[in-house]
Structure 1
């Protein structure tokens, strides 16, 4: 992997659990998605962009954050940790350049309020190990995690 020297564009999303399901919201209101899970009677994913062309980085961030927040729930069950109702994940995907080569990098801000910090870090790490998007990108792009408990 290579460090990005110049960031060209960043796609950001904020994904949180809500009473109507998961919601992923892009920065600047560019993209709102209502998510469902396989086998759920709720409608399939709904993309409602307030601007006609969200970036590929924003779409990727939204898809990855949706998968990751589901993995947080699974990791909590596996670790016997009650996940707070107001859990959220912010993902930023950068498209950047080093020399003539293009690369991606990702930053995750995982918010698990009320959990002890070490427990929250264990949940975030376990979710990263199970999330299919994380598995697919592991070793291919730089990814950093910031875990918040307040």
Structure 2
């Protein structure tokens, strides 16, 4: 169920100039980056790109969700990391994304880690936003 405007606690604001070959900045100035298409897609690769920015946001959000779930389950995930790989490629509608989320949980057995990942995937706002829209796999 979508949240209502009255439930919003924070709103991020970013403005792009010249799309994938320009600049993106937030209204508070904390993020101000040059964006360029990657070399693999015919660009200069000189700056970052939307897929890297999405991967950064998704991995941070998923790590937060993993922490919430781990606390609820009483599992220590100290030293854990989450990596998001965001791929872009052509599909029937032009272009689409695919995501792989992987986590390293050094102090957790494989079965518990898998359970935590599945539960985090259910509560992570990025996972909720992409569910049914793009393929997301967990590793």
Q: TM tier, shorter chain?
A: 0.5 to 0.7
Aligned to 1:57: 51
Q: Structure 1: which 5+ residue stretches go unaligned?
A: 1-43
**Aligned residues between the structures:** 102
Q: Which secondary structure does the structure 2 equivalent of 1:109 belong to?
A: strand
Aligned to 1:141: 134
1:131 & 1:125 partners in 2: Cα distance?
A: 10
The residue that corresponds to 2:72 in the other structure is: 78
More helix by share: 2
Question: Matched residues in 1 for 2:114 and 2:96: separation?
Answer: 27
Q: Is 1:124 paired with 2:114? A: no
1:115 matched to 2:108? The reply is yes
* Whole-angstrom distance in 1 between the partners of 2:120 and 2:32: 27
Tell me: higher relative CO, structure 1 or 2? Use CA pairs within 8 A at least 6 residues apart: 1
In the alignment, is the contact (CA less than 8 A) between 2:76 and 2:107 conserved in 1?
Answer: no
What is the root-mean-square deviation of aligned Cα atoms in Å?
2.4
TM-score by length of 1: 0.61
Which consecutive segments of 4 or more residues in structure 1 shift more than 3 A? 44-52
